[in-house]
Amino acid sequence: MFRNPWYLAGLALAVGAAAALHLWAEARRRAVARALGDAGTLARLIPPETAGRRRLKSALLLAGLALVFVALAGPQWGVELVNTRSDARQVFIAVDTSLSMTAEDVSPNRLEKAKRELAQLLASLRGDRVGVIAFAGEAGIFCPLTTDTEAAKQILSGISVGAVPVPGTAIGSAVRLATSVLQRYPGGKAVVLLTDGEDHNTDPSGAAAEAAAAGLRIYAIGIGTPEGNPLPVKEAGSGALTGYKKDRRGATVISRLGEKALVEMAQRTGGAYYRASPAEDEVADIARRIAGLEKSQGVSGATQHYRNRFLFPLAAAFLLLLAELLVPLRRGPAAGTAALLLLCLLPASAPAAGRESDLRAGNRLYQKRRFEDALGRYRAAQRPGDPRPEFNAGDALYRMEDFDSAAKKFQLLAEDQKASRKARAGAYYNLGDALVRKQDYAGAVAAFRKAVVLDPQDRDAKENLAVALRLLKHPPPPRQQCNKPNPEQKDEKKDQKDKDGGGKNEAPPPPPAPRPLNQMSKDEAQGIMRSVAEKEKAAKSRLQQLKPQKRPPQEDDW
């Protein structure tokens, strides 16, 4: 299979033209020879092997040219799974499915009106990641974030009153659920809230404050009228009206649009509030506002790709063309000229090759846990401008439990402005590891923060930053022996195959990637967490003694 098969047509034309040119040149050469004199005389003057070598050189050139065109055609075989990335915004659509959404102050009722507006909004959000949350007395994710808006539409069409079995209206719970999911994503994030605004003790204002702190914007659409409407009670089968919803005191429930809470939530997050209109113009304005938010790059799915194998014919073409240069037209001292020139170049590259060999040897020793021997190899492989030996040497020192020396090496690498952002982020990450082992939790927090700034996509660094902050706030008791090696820590040094040829020669590995924070044994970590949990429990107990509170029983189920 070829990625660009039209180059194969060019292959036939190019090889045919080159062969015709070779035959024409050979004919011209014979004509010139006949014009110069007798063929026997010329044969004694020109070495007999010249004609055969000329044909060999021509054959090598033609074969090399053919392989170049084969490489351009892009041969492919074998399948690999590749993550697809896209630039998108993250939007959660939260739909109120409580009993109050059956009110018919808008046609045909509030919920159907909300579903129509949401279907129109989903059509305007193509290319963004969209999820659907339904809420009544509790909130649940009915469709996780996806770029497949058609799938989200299908899920939306199946939502009905009673989709969430817990009665009531929990706007605050829906916003908190969306915030907990969206806060891990960079870039623009929004929650589109469609509800009548009635809430039963879930603190929507506090939820909006949490959303604003996480960088979310709330765009609320109020469904209903301020005057309100009673809630019809209908038969399940026929849909015939049997009466209206009554509260516990026997009074008819009138559900009204609660705009005040929705306006406050939108203002807190820098969003906007709209009252649903018959023309549904608010949907276009919300889509325009969301389109103005910053996009973020992320994995949108995975697809199967054929592996590109153009390097194989390209390498063969290079070897054939090199062989053509090494074949002389006649025997003599000139036969070894090209080879001699190549040999003259070897001493210049020998030191660099030796350093790469030391680096690979150090990585193999590291994998065998011979850290002292690996450290010696890394020191031999050091050269200006290459951070890999220093980085790996710091890692070996860490494994040898020399955390002071390891921290110094990682500190120097992290502050080297000439190094790449990835290398510096990895150095700050491992510096944080070493400082945690030294129980310098403030320094570890600073190091992990810088790692996150340099590489915002590194979730491990964010998680380790949270762990370091927890340790800084609740430090464990001092230990007599804190330098126990961790058998669960993963080795990072791996010899890698040559990326350009898939051959047997090993390419120098990149600096080891940052590793998860595994600085304590499981027993020690559990002990710390138990201590923290006990402190929190005692604090809660004291608060309850000072301010005893009881949650009132739920009376509103609409």
At 137, which CATH number?
3.40.50.410
Least confident of 27-31, 93-97, 413-417: 27-31
Pair 495, 399 in one domain: yes
Residues 6+ apart with CB under 8 A from 164: 97, 98, 134, 135, 136, 137, 138, 139, 140
pLDDT score, position 537: 54
Pair 137, 223 in one domain: yes
Asked if residue 43 belongs to a domain, the reply is: yes
The angle subtended at Cα 97 by Cα 92 and Cα 101, nearest 5°, is 120
pLDDT at 524 over 60: no
Share of the chain above pLDDT 70, in %: 74
What residue numbers bound the domain in which 279 lies? Answer: 85-231+253-301
Pair 381, 504 in one domain: yes
Look at residues 234, 302, 300, 222 and name the one whose alpha carbon lies nearest to residue 263: 222
Spatial distance between the Cα atoms of 438 and 17, rounded to a whole number of angstroms: 72
Global pTM value: 0.44
Pair 186, 40 in one domain: no
Pair 296, 318 in one domain: no
Residues 6+ apart with CB under 8 A from 227: 105, 256
Look at residues 200, 218, 260, 219 and name the one whose alpha carbon lies nearest to residue 117: 219
Asked if residue 154 belongs to a domain, the reply is: yes
Asked if residue 101 belongs to a domain, the reply is: yes
Q: Is 94 helix (H, G, I), strand (E, B) or coil?
A: strand
Which CATH number does the domain housing residue 422 bear? Answer: 1.25.40.10
Pair 15, 41 in one domain: yes
Pair 169, 272 in one domain: yes
Asked if residue 535 belongs to a domain, the reply is: no
Asked if residue 558 belongs to a domain, the reply is: no
Over residues 432-461, the pLDDT tens digits come to 888 988 888 888 889 888 888 888 888 888
pLDDT at 504 over 80: no
Pair 65, 176 in one domain: no
Over residues 163-185, the pLDDT tens digits come to 888 888 889 999 999 999 998 88
pLDDT score, position 266: 93
Distances (CA, A) of 469 to 161, 246, 403, 457, 516: 44, 52, 20, 19, 15
Give the number of domains in the chain.
3
Pair 264, 318 in one domain: no
- Average model confidence (pLDDT) for the chain? 76
Q: Is 453 helix (H, G, I), strand (E, B) or coil?
A: helix
Asked if residue 514 belongs to a domain, the reply is: yes
Pair 429, 383 in one domain: yes
The CB density around residue 346, as the number of other CB atoms within 10 Å, is 9
pLDDT at 92 over 90: yes
The CB density around residue 1, as the number of other CB atoms within 10 Å, is 9
Spatial distance between the Cα atoms of 365 and 363, rounded to a whole number of angstroms: 5
Pair 27, 144 in one domain: no
Over residues 214-228, the pLDDT tens digits come to 989 999 999 988 888
Tokens of 531: 């201590």
* Single-letter residue type at 26: E
Spatial distance between the Cα atoms of 92 and 145, rounded to a whole number of angstroms: 7
Q: 382 falls in which pLDDT band (50, 70, 90)?
A: confident
Spatial distance between the Cα atoms of 136 and 170, rounded to a whole number of angstroms: 6
Pair 430, 503 in one domain: yes
- Of 527 and 107, which is predicted with more confidence? 107
Asked if residue 527 belongs to a domain, the reply is: no
- Of 116 and 530, which is predicted with more confidence? 116
Asked if residue 542 belongs to a domain, the reply is: no
